[in-house]
Structure 1
Amino acid sequence: MLYNSSRLSQPLQCLVRSHSKSLNRRHTGFSLIELVVGMLVISIAIVMMTSMFFPQADRSVESLHRMRSAELAHSVMNEIWGKRYDQQTNPNGGVPACNTGTPLVPCSSTLGPDGEGRDNYNDVDDYNGLNINSLMFNSSQTYAAIYINFGLSVEVKYVNATTQAAKLISVNVTTPSGEVIKYQAVRSNY
């Protein structure tokens, strides 16, 4: 139906004009192309988030595991480093160290505890064979109780078995994710 605006009254003319403007506004909106482009942009953003941001959580856990492994290895290594070189070495230092001086005192041929308990380890090679289920120094707790799901193994061997002048200390820590991190130090006979 067509309205002749000349015959309508003034208030009715305003109503017709506002109604025709609202009809024009209803026809404005998003076209199909705009909707497809918008969905494409959102899908690219979601892919970027899932590939870049979400894996960061896994990486932060690995960093935490590595930090805890270094903490464990550092505590064990510090304890070992504070002990004398060999059972035959003078506990107060000085001469003669094993395999040196007169009379010649040989170094230990077997590496491992010399019959003493965990709190009485007194030389470097006593720690050979220490593991995650061993008691911590001066404690009734094991390493496994504190470092849950971690692994620990300590190996002490001579760098050169004929001269026995240095021992290689290897502390291997296995993280809960299965990564084995090896920490090593060489202790000389002095």
Structure 2
Amino acid sequence: MPASHFRSFARGFNLIELIIGMLLFAASMAVIFTLIVPQSKQSIDPIFQVRATELAQSMLNEIMVKSFDQQSDRSEGVFLCGSGAENAPDCTAPDALGPDGTETRINFNDVDDYNGLTVVNTGTGANISDLYTGFSLNVVVFYDANMDGIDDNAVGASKYIGVSVTTPNGEMIEFASYRSNY
């Protein structure tokens, strides 16, 4: 066989074919990155939402075990504030909800002490609470006797407890519960 016959089979790609191949590869990579990269950012959202739910539920559990009001009888529950019973004290006024005097979270004893509480976790890398690094939490408590989520601005038989958790990516998730005077 002539030598020219072997050269035609072993010649490979020419420059134009290489350039077209690189352009096709670049175009396909551009399409892939515009579809995948935004999805990777959103893939953390469910993890943040689960952690926000855990954090809010923990705070709501802490609040719900407290007494309805500072003026309620904590020993046997005989005298409920605002119940109208003889010797029953008045409940805390709506504009006085919040910590009583110099109380701090460690010694809060009633639901409305949490009103206005803000917790921001910056984390130190030392313990499990660092799962919540970058999360912030705000609590609001107000009277809402008709349970419509709107402040009645009057003493009532139910208090709305709202917990807002902001995730590290800036999403705010709100949770709510009610505590009744019983």
Shorter-chain TM range is: 0.7 to 0.9
- Of the three residues 168, 184, 190, the one matched with 2:160 is 168
- Aligned-partner SS, 2:43: helix
Distance 2:12 2:166 in 1: 64
Once the two structures are TM-superposed, the CA of residue 61 in structure 1 deviates from its matched residue by 2.8
User: Structure 2: where are the runs of 5+ without partners?
Assistant: 124-128, 145-151
Normalising by structure 2, report the TM-score: 0.74
Once the two structures are TM-superposed, the CA of residue 127 in structure 1 deviates from its matched residue by 0.7
The amino acid that maps onto 2:41 is: D
Larger radius of gyration: 1
- Of the three residues 113, 121, 127, the one matched with 2:99 is 113
Once the two structures are TM-superposed, the CA of residue 22 in structure 1 deviates from its matched residue by 0.5
User: Structure 1: where are the runs of 5+ without partners?
Assistant: 1-16, 134-142
The amino acid that maps onto 2:173 is: I
Structure having greater relative contact order (Cα 8 Å, sep ≥ 6): 2
Please tell me the root mean square deviation across aligned C-alpha atoms, in Å.
Answer: 2.7
Query: For residues 26 and 69 of structure 1, do their structure 2 counterparts lie closer, same or farther at Cα, with a shift above 3 Å needed?
Result: same
Per the alignment, residue 132 of structure 1 pairs with 119
**Aligned pairs for 1:1-190 within 5 A:** 17=1, 19-26=3-10, 32=16, 36=20, 38-39=21-22, 41-92=24-75, 94-103=77-86, 104-109=88-93, 110-115=96-101, 116-132=103-119, 143-145=121-123, 146=129, 147-159=132-144, 160-190=152-182
Once the two structures are TM-superposed, the CA of residue 83 in structure 1 deviates from its matched residue by 0.9
Post-superposition Cα deviations, 1:125-184, rounded to whole Å, max 9, x if no partner, equal 011121125xxxxxxxxx444443332221111113335111111112222222222221
Query: For residues 18 and 100 of structure 1, do their structure 2 counterparts lie closer, same or farther at Cα, with a shift above 3 Å needed?
Result: same
The amino acid that maps onto 2:161 is: I
Distance 2:33 2:61 in 1: 42
Distance 2:133 2:180 in 1: 33
CA contact (8 A) 1:83 1:122 kept: yes
The amino acid that maps onto 1:173 is: V
CA contact (8 A) 1:95 1:101 kept: no
CA contact (8 A) 1:132 1:144 kept: no
Aligned residues: 164
Post-superposition Cα deviations, 1:77-132, rounded to whole Å, max 9, x if no partner, equal 11001111111222245443221142142111111112334222111001112112
CA contact (8 A) 2:166 2:172 kept: yes
Query: For residues 96 and 47 of structure 1, do their structure 2 counterparts lie closer, same or farther at Cα, with a shift above 3 Å needed?
Result: same
Query: For residues 47 and 60 of structure 1, do their structure 2 counterparts lie closer, same or farther at Cα, with a shift above 3 Å needed?
Result: same
Per the alignment, residue 147 of structure 2 pairs with none
The amino acid that maps onto 1:127 is: Y
Once the two structures are TM-superposed, the CA of residue 68 in structure 1 deviates from its matched residue by 2.5
Identity value in percent: 38
Normalising by structure 1, report the TM-score: 0.71
CA contact (8 A) 2:92 2:155 kept: no
Query: For residues 186 and 61 of structure 1, do their structure 2 counterparts lie closer, same or farther at Cα, with a shift above 3 Å needed?
Result: same
